Amino acid sequence: MAEIAVIVESLWELDEDELAAQIGSHTQAIEDDAAGLGTTGIDPASLDSIDVDVATRAPIDPRLLEAGRRLFDRVNPLVYELMCKPLGNDADTQKILDEAISQNYTKAASILAPTLISGLGLAPSVATLLATLIIKKIANYAATGICETWQQNLPKPAS
């Protein structure tokens, strides 16, 4: 978890679009790797593949940004259910999450990332990026209960 905390601390400086584009980029690289199209080198699913300086070197690819946003919109409600409604809406879990976020945003994302890896089976790189983006999005509302605020900011189901 210490390695995740260091990465999250660096990722915290990126804006939401940069994080979403990185999510899209990693997802695409993992798909390419699984299809045998990936390049040799660092495993795109590993934490070592996260490049926090990519935003300073190249403009955001709109396709990767959209892919990252779609994955975020699909996973975010699942993470909300996992974190805010475990075992019949456990108030203790919600309190722990509220306290972690109010103490330190990077700590909260560092706690969330392994939960996404084990609870949703996400690749470590994607889970770390998603955890950072989720906490970043809800951090602005830390004065109220996190789960209440999070629920209000979930994507609306398509009609």
Question: Tell me: the pLDDT tens digits for 35-66?
Answer: 777 666 788 888 888 887 876 677 888 999 99
DSSP calls for the chain: -HHHHHHHHHHTTS-HHHHHHHHHHHHHHHHHHHTT-PPSSS-TTSGGG--TTHHHHSPPPHHHHHHHHHHHHHHHHHHHHHHHSTTTT-HHHHHHHHHHHHH-HHHHHHHHHHHHHHHH---HHHHHHHHHHHHHHHHTTTTS-HHHHHHHTSPPPP-
In the predicted model, residues of the chain with pLDDT beneath 70 are 1-2, 38-40, 55-56, 85-98, 100-102, 140-146, 159
